[in-house]
Amino acid sequence: MTFKEKLHTLSPMLYPILKEILFRLPPEKAHDFTLRVASLSPALGKLMGISPDPRLSVKIGNTIWPFPVGLAAGLDKNAEALAFFSAQGFGAVECGTITMRPQDGNARPRMWRYPDEKSLRNAMGFPNHGLSDIWNRLHAFERTTPLGANIGKNKESDRDQSIDELALMMASLEELVDYFVINVSSPNTPGLRAFQERTYLRELFKELNRVRGGKDLYLKIAPDLDGDKIKELCETAFDCNLTGLIATNTTIMPERGPGGMSGEMLRPRATYIRSEILSLRTTLELIGVGGVSGFSDLLKFWEEGGKVMQVYTAYIFQGPDVLHRIKRDALRFVEFIPQKSLQEFFDLKLSERQERIREFRKAYPA
Ligand SMILES: Cc1cc2nc3c(=O)[nH]c(=O)nc-3n(C[C@H](O)[C@H](O)[C@H](O)COP(=O)(O)O)c2cc1C
Report the residue among 220, 250, 267, 317 best suited for mutation to probe ligand 1: largest number of ligand atoms under 8 A from its CB: 250
Determine, yes or no, domain membership for 352. no
Is a pLDDT exceeding 90 seen at residue 144?
Answer: yes
Q: What is the pLDDT of residues 35-87, one digit of tens each?
A: 999 999 889 889 899 999 999 999 999 999 999 999 999 999 999 999 999 99
Res. 267: pLDDT tops 80: yes
Q: Is 364 a domain residue?
A: no
Assign 104 a pLDDT band (cuts: 50, 70, 90): very high
Structural domain count of the chain = 1
Whether 356 is in a domain gets the answer no
Compute the average pLDDT of residues 91-107. 96
> Which residue type is seen at 282?
T
From 243, 254, 214, select the one nearest 308 (Cα to Cα). 243
Is there an atom of ligand 1 within 6 Å of 27 CB?
no
Domain assignment present for 363: no
Q: What is the mean pLDDT of residues 296-314?
A: 98
| Mean local confidence (pLDDT), 130-143 | 97
Q: Which range, of 225-229, 281-285, 339-343, averages the lowest pLDDT?
A: 225-229
**Quick one: pLDDT at residue 7?**
64
Residue 183 has pLDDT above 80, yes or no: yes
What's the pLDDT score for residue 10? 66
More confident residue, 315 or 13: 315
> What distance in angstroms lies between residue 122's CA and the mean position of ligand 1's atoms?
8
Q: Give the integer Cα–Cα distance in Å for 64 and 57.
A: 7
174-179 mean pLDDT: 97
34 Cβ below 6 A of ligand 1: no
Instruction: Compute the distance from residue 249 Cα to the ligand 1 centre, in Å.
Output: 6
Q: Is 185 in the pocket of ligand 1 (CB under 6 A)?
A: no
From the CA of 246, give the closest atom in ligand 1: 19
pLDDT reading at 212 higher than 90: yes
Helices (H), the chain: 3-22, 27-40, 42-48, 82-88, 131-140, 159-173, 198-211, 227-239, 267-279, 295-303, 313-318, 321-336, 342-346, 350-363
Q: What is the mean pLDDT of residues 238-245?
A: 97
pLDDT at 133: 97
Rounded mean pLDDT of 165-176? 97
Considering the domain boundaries, does residue 355 fall inside one?
no
Q: Residue 366 domain-assigned?
A: no
Task: Answer whether residue 246 is part of any domain.
Answer: yes
- Which residues are part of the catalytic machinery? 186
Q: pLDDT per residue over 246-255, tens digit each?
A: 999 999 999 9
Question: pLDDT grade, residue 110 (50/70/90)?
Answer: very high
- From 249, 251, 323, the mutation candidate for ligand 1 (largest count of ligand atoms within 8 A of CB) is 249
- Taking only the tens place, the pLDDT of each residue in 7-24 is 666 667 788 888 989 999
pLDDT for the residue 162: 93
Most confident range, picked from 30-39, 143-152, 178-187: 143-152
pLDDT of 188: 74
Residue 121 forms beta bridges with which residues?
A: 112, 261
**Residue nearest ligand 1's atom 7 by CA:** 74
Which DSSP state fits 3?
H
CATH number of the domain encompassing residue 27: 3.20.20.70
Q: Does residue 1 register a pLDDT over 80?
A: no
Q: Tell me, using a 6 A CB cutoff, whether residue 319 lines ligand 1.
A: no
Residues 6 or more apart whose CB falls under 8 angstroms from that of 366 comprise 296
Main-chain phi, psi angles of 149, to 5 degrees: -115, 120
Pocket flag, ligand 1, residue 289 (CB < 6 Å): yes
Residue 99 near ligand 1, beta carbon < 6 Å:
no
Distance 104 CA to ligand 1 centre (A): 17
Alpha-carbon dihedral of residues 63, 289, 149, 114, nearest 10 degrees?
-150
| Whole-number average pLDDT of the chain | 94
Ligand 1 in reach of 266 Cβ (< 6 A): yes
- For residue 273, the CA-to-ligand 1 centroid distance in Å is 16
- Residue 211: band (very low, low, confident or very high) from pLDDT cuts 50, 70, 90: very high
Contact call for residues 97 and 246 (beta carbons, < 8 A) = no
C-alpha–C-alpha distance, residues 53 and 76, integer Å: 25
Q: Using CA positions, which residue lies closest to atom 4 of ligand 1?
A: 74
Q: The domain containing residue 38 runs over which residues?
A: 3-335
pLDDT of residue 8: 65
Asked, for residue 347, whether it belongs to a domain, the answer is: no
Q: How far is the CA of 134 from the centre of ligand 1 (A)?
A: 19
For residue 96, what pLDDT band results from cuts at 50, 70 and 90?
very high
* Residue 4 pLDDT level (bands cut at 50, 70, 90): low
Tell how far the Cα of 72 is from the centroid of ligand 1, in angstroms: 6
Q: Is 112 in the pocket of ligand 1 (CB under 6 A)?
A: no
Kindly state the percentage of the chain with pLDDT values over 70: 97
Which of 183, 312, 326 for a ligand 1 pocket mutation test, highest count of atoms within 8 Å of Cβ? 312
Ligand 1 pocket check for 150: Cβ under 6 Å: yes
